[in-house]
Amino acid sequence: MIKVATCGVCKTDVHIHHGEFISEFPLVPGHEFAGTVAALGPGVSELALGTRVAVDNTVLCGHCYYCRKNQPLYCENFYSLGCNGPGGFAEYVVANHDKVFAIGDLSFEEAAMIEPTACAVHGLDRIDLRPGADVLMFGTGPTGIVLAQLLRHAGALNLVLVASDPKKLEMAGRLAEADTVLMDRSNYGQHRQEIHRRYPRGFDVVIDATGAIDILQECPDYARFGGKIVVYGVTHETDIMPIRPYDVFRKELTIVGSFAQTHAFDRAIQFIQLGLVNVRDIVSHRFPLDRFQDALDQVDHGQGHIKVIMDLQSQS
């Protein structure tokens, strides 16, 4: 049993709030949480009461078709705390001991970013970046900022970030030592022209981290021959986009999806502990638990935030 200290709020929580993603109701949401061990079940020996921990929210059955093929993320009985099981927007959460990780001297705010960082680590696995590749990424949300830092450390040569929020774009560019292009949402032609001017030969990898269908559908235009398109942001389930199959055929493009994560928590923690990924600067807004709706509204349509967390330590 974990006494929750912090729980991140992300755009996925907004999708879940509207019954999308893999949500099942009734539900206590919240899938990015950390806290202290408050009680132990029988036979748990590797954790002690009071240990400061973060929780991998994925619960896998271990016996379905995909689990037996060692493809656990595709588990046919995929269970995720905060998505279709009780999560971290609560005072206490119960989790399987094998999914609980000690965080050492990381702050609870940093620990609330471990799950998003794990998702970015999985994204890096899916991208399978070749050192020296040129990478273009649209979107500088929290996991986008983390992924940008991982891409830099993984050997991206020219790393270019495009976003419409100057504050997020500046931070992402600084933390990832990346080139940046400011997007004008009312005039996409502006960033298109600028990207093509600076990088006329295009990119080996083009990533959509916005979840916006109008951005995703133009990603193939920036890909080189043999390039890779990565669907990293969460679109609406009903979104449909046109695509030119001839471009995929002629340019031999690869389209890759990156969904959530599993078995990436250990690496995520080490990336943060070693300072290779900076998550401290990303947290911008904090809300107590009784202002959950305000926190959700801030993420959904608020201004000026980067990462929003619920701070349960402020509760009486």
C-alpha 191/C-alpha 163 separation (Å) is 9
Distances, alpha carbon 77 to alpha carbons 22, 74, 187, in Å: 11, 9, 44
CATH architecture entry for 2-113+279-314:
Alpha-Beta Complex (3.90)
The SS3 call for residue 263 is coil
pLDDT, residue 315, reads 52
Q: CB of 206 within 8 A of CB of 230? A: yes
Least confident span in 10-14, 60-64, 140-144? 10-14
Indicate if the pLDDT at residue 237 is higher than 70. Answer: yes
pTM of the model: 0.96
pLDDT, residue 168, reads 96
Average pLDDT over residues 38-65: 97
The neighbour count for residue 45, using CB atoms within 10 Å, is 7
pLDDT, residue 31, reads 97
Tokens of 143: 């996991």
Distances, alpha carbon 138 to alpha carbons 211, 237, 252, in Å: 9, 20, 21
Indicate if the pLDDT at residue 200 is higher than 60. Answer: yes
Q: Give the HSE-up count for residue 190: Cα atoms under 13 Å, Cβ half-sphere.
A: 10
C-alpha 219/C-alpha 235 separation (Å) is 14
Tokens of 279: 């998550």
Kindly report the CATH number that applies to the domain delimited by 120-257: 3.40.50.720
pLDDT, residue 178, reads 98
pLDDT, residue 314, reads 73
Average pLDDT over residues 173-179: 98
pLDDT single digits (tens) 297-316: 999 999 999 999 999 987 54
| 4-29 CB burial, b ≥16 within 10 A, e <16 | bbbbbbbbbbbbbbeeebebeeebeb
pLDDT, residue 143, reads 97
Strand-pair partners of 35: 4, 53
Share of the chain above pLDDT 90, in %: 97
Q: Where are the domains of the chain?
A: 2-113+279-314, 120-257
C-alpha 132/C-alpha 12 separation (Å) is 32
Average pLDDT over residues 275-300: 96
Contacts of 45 (CB under 8 A, 6+ apart): none
Indicate if the pLDDT at residue 135 is higher than 80. Answer: yes
Average pLDDT over residues 72-91: 96
Tokens of 51: 């240990």
pLDDT, residue 316, reads 40
